[in-house]
Amino acid sequence: MDDGYITTRGTGDETHQHVPEKGPHDAEAHLTTNQGVRVSDNQNQLKSGPRGPVLLEDFVLREKIFHFDHERIPERIVHARGSAAHGFFEVYESLADLTKADLFQRPGEKTPVFTRFSTVAGGAGSVDTPRDVRGFAVKFYTQQGNWDLVGNNIPVFFIQDAMKFPDLVHSVKMEADRGYPQSASAHDTFWDFISLMPESTHMIMWAMSDRTIPRSLRTIEGFGVHTFRLVNAEGKSTFVKFHWKPKQGVASTIWDEAVKIAGADPDFQRRDLFEAIQRGDFPEWELGIQAFDQAFADSFEFDVLDPTKIIPEEVIPVRPIGRMVLDRWPDNFFAETEQAAYCPGNIVPGVDFTNDPLLQGRLFSYLDTQKSRLGTSNFHQIPVNAPKCPVMNFQRDGMMQMLQPKGRANYEPNSLAETAGEIGGPRECPVTGFHTHEAADRDDEQGDKLRLRPESFADHYSQARLFFRSLDPAEQAHLASALVFELSKVAIEAVRTRMLSNLVNVDPDLAKRVGEGLNMPVPNASQSAVPVQDLPPSPALRIINGPRAPSDLKGHAIGILVADGSDAKAVDRLKAAIAKAGAVAKVIAPKIGGAKGADGTLIPADGQLAGTPSVTVGAIALVLSEDGCAALLKEAAAVQFVMDAFGHLKAIGASDAAKPLLDKAGVEPDDGVTDLGADFLAAAVKRFWDREPKVRTLA
C-alpha cells in the first residue's frame, strides 16, 4: 500500500493502484473523468472479450485519448521557449507626481506578478542557451486591472516599423525550404535581411555581444524597449523608459561554454531558475525608469520614439522605483507558463502609449495572437491571465466561456434595474476610468495620411558605434568573433560583403577584424543617410568591468571535484565556506554514489563527472589525493572538466596533490588558479579575461 492506495496486479500482470474497498472513499482520492465520473480501471480498454476489439462505448478511453490528442496548443511563433515564475513587485516610494497608476502610490505596497523569460527564434523544444535575444515579460495584477510590461533583455529592436516584423521573423526562423537551422541566426536568410536593413545595425551589435549568451535568466537585464508615458492625476504626461536591473548582477557565458552547456543540459537556464526558487534564493530585480519631458525629447540627438535607439544612462540616470522578487514556481507548467498571454495593450490608468510605430503595431498583433494560440476570445479567464480585481462588463458567450452572468442585461444603456427590478449591470466611470492622453506632443502630429518614416529615424549607425566603443576590450573581441562565426555560416558572398560595408560605418577597426576573420577584403562603407556621429561612450553598457558585474558569490554554483581518497574534512570546510558566501556547492565524483574519503567515510556526490561538466558551474575546486588524482588522469571527462574551466576563464582552486591533473589539462598559473583557501572564494567571483588570449584566437 502506497500513499493510502492498494497496489495489485491484473490478469496481464499490469500494475493497478486503487482506493481500498473498505475506507472513507473521499472524493479527492478517486480518479474521475472530466465529467466527474469515477474510473474503475485506468489500465485497460473496454473490449469484447480478452482479445476482442475495443468497444466504441468506452467513454473513459475516448475522453482520455481525445484530451491527450489535443494537449499541445499552437506554440508561440516567437518566444516559444519560455520559463516563468510567480512573485511580487514592491514599490519604493509614491510616484504620484508622475502617475496616477494605483500600484505606484503607496510605498511598500506589493503587487502580485507573473514573469516569463524566453528565447525568441527557437521552438518550444529548443535549448535554453543559444545566441538569441531573451524575452522579459511581466504581468502585474494591479487593483486597477492587469498591466503587461512586455520587453526584452536588450533595450533596442531590429526594426523601426511593425510592418517589417513578419519579414524579420521569417528571415531568422528555419529556412523555408530545408527546415533548419533551429534557434539560430547564423544562416543566409537572416543576414541577407539584416544586411539590407541598416536600421538593424544597432540591434546587431547587441545581438552579437555577450548579452545574448547570458549565464542565467537571473543575470539578465530587462527593458520595456519603447518610450511609454506616465500620466498623473492632473493629466500631466511624462515620457518614460523602463529598466529591470538584476540584483544578482549581469553575467554571460563564453560562446564555447554556451555551446557545451546546450549539449550537457538543454534545460540549463530553466533548471537554474527552478532550483534557485526551490532553495529560497529568490531572484530579484529593481525596476527603474528614465523619465523626461518633451523639452528633453526635442533636444536629444535622436528621436525618442525610434525603438532602435537608447538614451544612455550617463545622459539620464535610471531611477530605481521598486523591486520584483520571484518566489514561487508555477504549480503546472502548461496551465500557467504555456497559457500565459501577454499583451502590450494591457495597461492601467496612469500608463499610456506613445506614437512609436513599432509599439503601435504590437498593440494590434498580440491580442490577435492570443485568440489563435488559446482558441478563444475568453483567454483572459484562464487563471494565470485573469485579473485579481473585479471584472464587470457585457461581453458574453464565446468558446470556453467560464463565467455565468445573471440576468438578461447583456447591453447598455439599459433600464432594466429601474423599470423591471432586474440586474442592470455595470456602467462607465468618467472619474476613475482609463483616459487616453489627449494632448499632441508635437505640432506635426496632425496632417495628411502618409506611408513614410520621419527623417529623425534615419541615423542607423551612430548608436551602434556608441555601443561597440562602450564595451570592454574583451567584449569587443567577443562581438567581433560572433560576427565572424555567424557570417562564416552565410554562403552568399554578396551578403557577407554588404554586411562588412555596413560595419565600416559602425567602426572601421571592427570591420577590419571581421574581414580578416572571414579572409575577405573590407569594402568601402555603405551609404549612410546622415553623417555618423561620435557619441560619448556609455560605460553602463558593459558587462565585463561594468557597473552591474557580479560583486559576490551569492547565487553562484561552485563545483567540487572529488575521488576516492579525497579529504572529507577539507570538502566539508570548503562547502561551509561556500555556503557562508551565499553560493551553492555541488560535489562531483566519478560515480553518482559519491567517493570514499581518506578516513573511510562516504563523500556524497551531487553529480556524476561524465554528466556534470564544468560548464554547469561558475568555478571549480579539486580536492584530490595523489591516488585519486592518478586515477582521474586516465579519465577523459576529468581532464576535460579542468581544461574547460581554464578555457572558460573560471577560477580553479586545487589541492597540492591535484597538480598533475592541472598540468595534463594545460592549466597555466595565473591569478585565477589558487589553493583551496580564502583566495579561491575571492577569485570565484569573477572571470579572468587576461587569460583569454592564451586559450583561443579572437577576432
* CA distances to 394, 408, 416, 425 from 405, in Å: 9, 9, 15, 9
Active site residue 79: yes
Coil, strand or helix at 226 = coil
Task: Please state, in angstroms and rounded to a whole number, the distance separating the CA atoms of residues 271 and 612.
Answer: 14
Residue with cell 537572416: 190
Residue 244 host element (H or E)? strand 237-246
Task: Please state, in angstroms and rounded to a whole number, the distance separating the CA atoms of residues 582 and 296.
Answer: 43
Contacts of 51 (CB under 8 A, 6+ apart): none
Active site residue 243: no
Q: Is the CB of residue 289 less than 8 Å from the CB of residue 244?
A: no
Q: In what order do the strands lie in the sheet with 673-674?
A: 607-608, 584-589, 557-561, 619-622, 652-654, 673-674
Q: Cell numbers at residue 573, please?
A: 570546510
Residue 589 host element (H or E)? strand 584-589
Q: Of 379, 370, 369, 373, which is closest to residue 399 (Cα–Cα)?
A: 379
Query: CA angle 77-256-559, nearest 5°?
Result: 105
Kindly tell me the burial class for residue 635, based on how many C-beta atoms sit within 10 Å of its own C-beta (0-12, 13-18, 19 or more): middle
Chain centre distance of CA 673: 32
DSSP state of 409: -
Q: Which residue out of 79, 86, 187, 460 is catalytically annotated? A: 79
Task: Please state, in angstroms and rounded to a whole number, the distance separating the CA atoms of residues 675 and 677.
Answer: 6
Task: Please state, in angstroms and rounded to a whole number, the distance separating the CA atoms of residues 335 and 256.
Answer: 35
141 beta partners: 146
Task: Please state, in angstroms and rounded to a whole number, the distance separating the CA atoms of residues 273 and 249.
Answer: 15
Q: Which residue out of 146, 152, 378, 385 is catalytically annotated? A: 152
Q: Of 625, 669, 657, 620, which is closest to residue 641 (Cα–Cα)?
A: 620
Task: Please state, in angstroms and rounded to a whole number, the distance separating the CA atoms of residues 154 and 353.
Answer: 20
Contacts of 485 (CB under 8 A, 6+ apart): 186, 255
Note the residue count of the chain. Answer: 699
State the alpha helices, DSSP H only, in 100-229.
Answer: 165-172, 188-195, 201-207
State the sign of the Cα–Cα–Cα–Cα dihedral 390, 395, 399, 405: positive
How are beta strands 284-292 and 15-18 bridged, if at all?
Answer: unpaired
Which residues does the annotation mark as catalytic?
A: 79, 152
